[in-house]
Structure 1
Amino acid sequence: MDEDLDIAESPLGAPAVPSISGELSAAILMMLLEDDDATAILQHLAPDEVKALGKGMFEASSANENDVERALETFVSSNRDLSALAVGAPVRIREMMHKALGNVRAGNILSEIEPQSSAPSLDILRWMDVASISELVSSEHPQVAAVILSVLTPEVSAQAIAALDEPTQTDLLFRSANLSSISADAIEDLEAILINYTSRKAHAPDVALGGRNEVARIVKNLPRPTAEKLLRALRKKDRLLADAIEEEMFVFDDLAALDAKTLGTILRNVDSEQIGLAVKGASELLGEKMLSTLSARAAQTIRDDIADMGQVKRTDVEAAQKAVIAVARQMAASGEIQMGGKGDDYV
């Protein structure tokens, strides 16, 4: 009986054995540990990781001897060079991202993928249900509530403030957008609010959180009418801040999510030289998608221009990409195109 199997490469001509997924491998390894050791590991994982691992552990309960052997082989193979890779990894990754993509694009991507370091007292918030968070946000001092929103994921923050009145929503987003760090004293105040937690660091360093990018992601997860209303309200308090938040809500790489018709409509209103520079700095997938919306002649002309460009300044590329996004925003504001993320949500 033929089956489609994921076959691992075998060294020295040894018989090939089906590989095993990383998720199932991790779950099997957890089941092999003593309860105390497994518990210690779970305590250091994020809520989503615990859920995924727990689900895998239920599946691993029916694993056979071959599955266990493959899980151990996967673990040894994956971690053989871990120490060499791990040294200074966060710093190296950030530097590579900034050099390759520029500060703006790198900052946007890193804000989504980089593990956030926070005080243990703030981590407990990520385990609370939305209803409890919403009640906490509505009952505490606005500045404390702003800190809470900045600690949570944008999706959870959006749900937490959804039931609040518009002035409160506006005030909390304004405060959160102006956060850059939180002092150890403020952390201690928050610790007093969060029950079932005892402080272990009286002199903890400042924790980076909040800011315009984080608020942009919160607003992005709100229904479009609500998001637009809040942006107008924020603009009355601080026009430059509101403009900066709106800019963060739709960046160049988000063009990949648009359908070909909408993307083509945008590009027909952009100078071909700017399109060329923008495509040169784009990913191969996005670049080809952009060119595919143009006529064959126009696309080939731009390809030829890119080939003749040689090296160009990253600042010029970023300026061209911002110009494309500016056109997209103007057309969306005038109703010529629709830009949406989830359903009718604002992007």
Structure 2
Amino acid sequence: MSTTVRTDIKKISGSEKAAILFLCLGQERGSELMKQLGETQVMPVSRAIAGLGQVTTDVVEDVITEFVEGMTAGGGVHGNFNEAEEWLKSFLPEDQADRMMGEIRGPVKGKNMWARFSSLNENVIANYLRLENPQTVAAILSQVKADISAKVLPLLPEDMMQDVIERMIRMEAVPQDMLEGIETALETEFLDSAANVSGVDSHERMANIFNKFPPETFEGISGKLDGSMPDELARIKQKMFTFDDLARMDTQNLGRVIRSGTDGARVPTALKGAKSDVRDYFLQCLPERSRNLLKEEMDSLGPVRMRDVQTAQAALVDVAKELAEDGAIQLPMNDDEDEIIE
């Protein structure tokens, strides 16, 4: 084994950089990854590990940073900041991973730019975007949270909204040079900015946005998208999960959602504006006493605004998704046409 102390990343070969990454991952994770390589790849990495010698902490950090920057720059793998951060935290202490991600993302003030931009009133954002190129609008709305995009898109002119949505569907990631130009403009118009490329799947992103659309808005735009890009719309619908989809769950899982979603008048408000078959199925999931109490709560509400109904229904959908992420329940697949409603 070499006794050389490696202090300069410029003098380290590609195989040696790979060796450093494998050693950082540890034997268990590294061996799992090594199994994915072919023999022609395993041999040079193994030789590099055997002859690597001592590597300083600074060089290790330089190698990791170089690799992560390659992931987030849209190279041969589909990487993004979230993927990079999770990868770093798989083998580094959290504070060290956070520090390195901070260096990769840029100045601290830039980290909060999109959140601060999103905090603006949706009418202000929409008025600004109306004057922009649809591709620029698509790039901007791809960087903000789905609920912000869902509020802003319906405020755009109808033709522009459809154009922007189609571009967002096709957009896998915002090109770095385009994003830099957008951020320069936003810095001038609004706040300081820094690169924050989103690697979220465009169909999943649009499904999240459409989930938060009022039903009539989604019906209008989906009718047009069905004519202009039916295959893409079908893929988006497969990823969507709406309030009505809760009625496709079995009674045990739905009952757990109802119990977890009990927060004030959320459940009775959501059911107040639900379809009759969906409402009946919800009630079937409850014991008789709970069912009667829920009916009384619904009756005592009186007239409710559709906006409040939609908010309550969206909150229950979020509860279901959180339970599914925790492994407490299983959501029905959207390509399953067999409904449970009787």
In the superposition, the TM-score normalised over structure 1's length comes to: 0.41
